[in-house]
Amino acid sequence: MKLPVQTWFTRSTSRARDWPIERLRARKAGTRVSVVLPALDEEATVGRVVAMVRRLAEDTGLVDEVVVMDSGSTDGTARAAAEAGATVHHRDEVLPEVGSRPGKGEVLWKSLAVTTGDVVVFVDADLTDPQPQLVTGLLGPLLTDPGVELVKGCYDRPLQGAGATSGGRVTELVARPLISRFYPDLAGVVQPLAGEYAGRRRLLEALPFCGGYGVEIAMLIDTLELRGLSAIAQVDLGRRGHGHQDTAALGRMATQITDVVHRRAGAGPLDAPTITQFARDGYGRYAPVTHVLDVAERPPMITVAGYGQRAAKVS
Ligand SMILES: O=c1ccn([C@@H]2O[C@H](COP(=O)(O)OP(=O)(O)O)[C@@H](O)[C@H]2O)c(=O)[nH]1
Ligand SMILES: O=C(O)[C@@H](COP(=O)(O)O)O[C@H]1O[C@H](CO)[C@@H](O)[C@H](O)[C@H]1O
C-alpha cells in the first residue's frame, strides 16, 4: 500500500468492540438510524436477521426502523420478515412511476425513498449468524465522527462447508486486483464488496446506484471521488457467515464488478456486459450460454421527483 493509504488504514480501521452501546447511545442524540435488508428469496434466514435488529432497537434505542426490501421473492420472505417485526416494501410498490429492475442495487436505491434515517445501515438478509455488533460497529464511526460518511464492514469469510478454504471469492480474485490496478487509494479497504455497511443519507442520496451486484464497488469508488478517502472508514466485525452462490453465479457477479470498475476508470464499453458460460446439454456436450447482465445505473435519489416530495413530507 502507498503511504497515504497505509495512514488511512491505521487511522480509519476500528473494531466492533471499540464501539460499546453506551458510548453510541450517548452520541446518537437526534440522529435517526434505519437498518435496511435487501432480500430475494431469503425466507430461511431473513427472520433471524430482522429479529436481531429488532431486539437491538428495543434494548438500546440505537435503531429507529427496520426495513426489508423485497427484490421480487417468490418464497415466504415477505411474510417471514413481517412476522419478525420488519416493515416490508416490495420493489414494485416503491416509486412505481420509475418501474422496477431486477437486482440488489435496485432495492438498495429504492430503500432511500421509504426510509427516514439520517444514517442507513445495510445488512444482507442471508446471514447465518447475525450478531448485533454488525450494526453497532457500523454505527460507531458515523455517530462519533462528522467527517465520516461511509463505513464498510470487514470480517473473516469462512467458505461454509468447504473446509479451510476462504470465502469472498469475487473479492479476492476480481475486486481486489481491479482496485489495485485502477483505484489504489482504495487498497486498504478489507472487504470492498461487503454487504454490511452504513452511510449518511446526505451521501447516499447524492450517489448514482448501479444495478445488481455492482452497487457496492460503485458506491465505494463514487464516495472516494466525491468526498475523498477520509470520508470512508471500516470496522472489523469479526466473522461473517452467509449463503454462498455457485461459481457460475459468482462469475456473473464478477462480470458486473469488472464492468463497473472499467466504466468508472473510463476504460470500459458502455453497452451491457455479457459473459458466456458453459453447461452440459442433454447429450453430454458443452452448450454455451450467454448472459447479458444489467448494471444500468439509477440516478442520485436526490434528483428523483417522487423522492423530493417524500422528503418534504418527512421533514
Ligand atoms: O436480485 C437480488 C439479489 C440479491 N439480493 C439480496 O442481496 C443480498 C446479497 O446477495 P446474495 O446472497 O445473492 O449474494 P451472496 O452473499 O450469496 O454472494 C441478499 O440479502 C440477497 O437476498 C437482492 O435483494 N436482490
Ligand atoms: O465477496 C465475494 O466474493 C462475494 C461472494 O462471497 P463468497 O465467495 O460466497 O463467500 O460476496 C460479496 O457479494 C455479496 C453480494 O452482494 C455480499 O453478500 C458479500 O458481503 C460480498 O462480500
Share of the chain above pLDDT 90, in %: 81
pLDDT at 314 over 60: no
C-alpha cell belonging to residue 90:
416490495
pLDDT at 215 over 80: yes
Identify which has the larger pLDDT, 294 or 312: 294
Out of 33-37, 244-248, 260-264, pick the least confident: 244-248
Share of the chain above pLDDT 70, in %: 95
CA atoms within 13 A on the CB side of 56: 29
CA atoms within 13 A on the CB side of 88: 22
> In the structure, what pLDDT confidence band is assigned to residue 312 with cuts at 50, 70 and 90?
very low
Per-residue pLDDT, averaged over 258-276, amounts to 89
pLDDT at 306 over 80: no
pLDDT at 169 over 60: yes
- Residue among 41, 67, 126 to mutate when testing ligand 1 (max atoms within 8 A of CB): 126
Partners of 279 in beta bridges: 287
pLDDT at 311 over 80: no
pLDDT of residue 53: 98
Per-residue pLDDT, averaged over 209-236, amounts to 97
Q: How far is the CA of 167 from the centre of ligand 2 (A)?
A: 8
pLDDT at 164 over 60: no
Asked whether 147 and 226 are in contact (CB, 8 A), the reply is no
Ramachandran angles phi, psi of 141, nearest 5°: -65, -35
Out of 16-25, 136-145, 150-159, 195-204, pick the least confident: 150-159
pLDDT at 159 over 80: no
pLDDT at 210 over 90: yes
Q: How far apart are CA 181 and CA 214, in angstroms?
A: 18
257: Cβ below 6 Å to ligand 2? no
Which residue's C-alpha cell is 452448450?
287
Asked whether 196 and 134 are in contact (CB, 8 A), the reply is yes
Cα pseudo-dihedral 55, 78, 211, 54, rounded to 10: -10
Of the candidates 34, 23, 29, the one whose C-alpha atom is nearest the C-alpha of residue 118 is 34
57: Cβ below 6 Å to ligand 1? no
Residue 172: how many CB atoms within 10 A of its CB? 12
Ligand nearest to the CA of 257: 2
Ramachandran angles phi, psi of 162, nearest 5°: -130, 40
User: What is the ipTM score, two decimals?
Assistant: 0.96
* Amino acid found at 143: L
pLDDT tens-digit readout, 54-69: 999 999 999 999 999 9
pLDDT at 102 over 70: yes
Q: Please, what are the domains in the chain?
A: 3-244+299-314 (3.90.550.10)
pLDDT of residue 280: 84
pLDDT at 40 over 80: yes
Q: How far is the CA of 194 from the centre of ligand 2 (A)?
A: 7
> In the structure, what pLDDT confidence band is assigned to residue 315 with cuts at 50, 70 and 90?
very low
Ligand nearest to the CA of 49: 1
102: Cβ below 6 Å to ligand 1? yes
Q: How far apart are CA 280 and CA 194, in angstroms?
A: 33
CA angle 7, 10, 15 (to 5 degrees): 155
Asked whether 232 and 11 are in contact (CB, 8 A), the reply is no
pTM, entire model: 0.94
